[in-house]
Amino acid sequence: MGYRSHVAIAVAFRTREQMEEVLAVYRMHPKVQEHNVMDQWKINTDMIDGDPPYILFQGEDVKWYPNDEDVQAFEHINVVCNEFADERGFGFAFRLVRIGQEYSDIVVDDDYARSDDHDLSDFIVENLSPVSRINCDL
């Protein structure tokens, strides 16, 4: 069965157009195509109450090993976002949260393009964070 994790990745963008341009390039990556990861992203363009456009992946009870090609395909979105930030000045905020089987095995990885992207980063941090809970079925 192997070690299992709960994983979420969220990326917020400055505009819908920037998100669509980034996703167009991301979709072309061979690992993204081979593992059909685009089908597993939720793409939100509603921008309700001023929220930025964003994409979200959530996986529960998944094997998440950095050397696996499907994991690399999901995480490649951060590479593409950084390339667009460097080359075209696109704004974004990225957050990966992974909670492993062990209580102490929690990983949070944040990235954002520029200092003026703090509002995007704040949006992601406010809406995606690890939470510990007590389950009691008494």
**pLDDT tens per residue, the chain (138 residues)?**
578 999 999 999 999 999 999 999 999 999 999 999 999 999 998 878 889 999 999 999 999 999 999 999 999 999 999 999 999 999 999 999 999 988 889 999 998 876 577 889 999 999 999 886 667 777
Fold (CATH) for 5-127: Alpha-Beta Plaits (3.30.70)
Task: Give the pair of three-digit tokens for residue 82.
Answer: 């950084």
pTM of the model: 0.91
Sheet of 42-44: strand order equals 42-44, 54-62, 5-13, 92-100, 106-112
CA atoms within 13 A on the CB side of 97: 17
Task: Give the residue among 87, 135, 134, 128 at the shortest CA–CA distance from 107.
Answer: 128
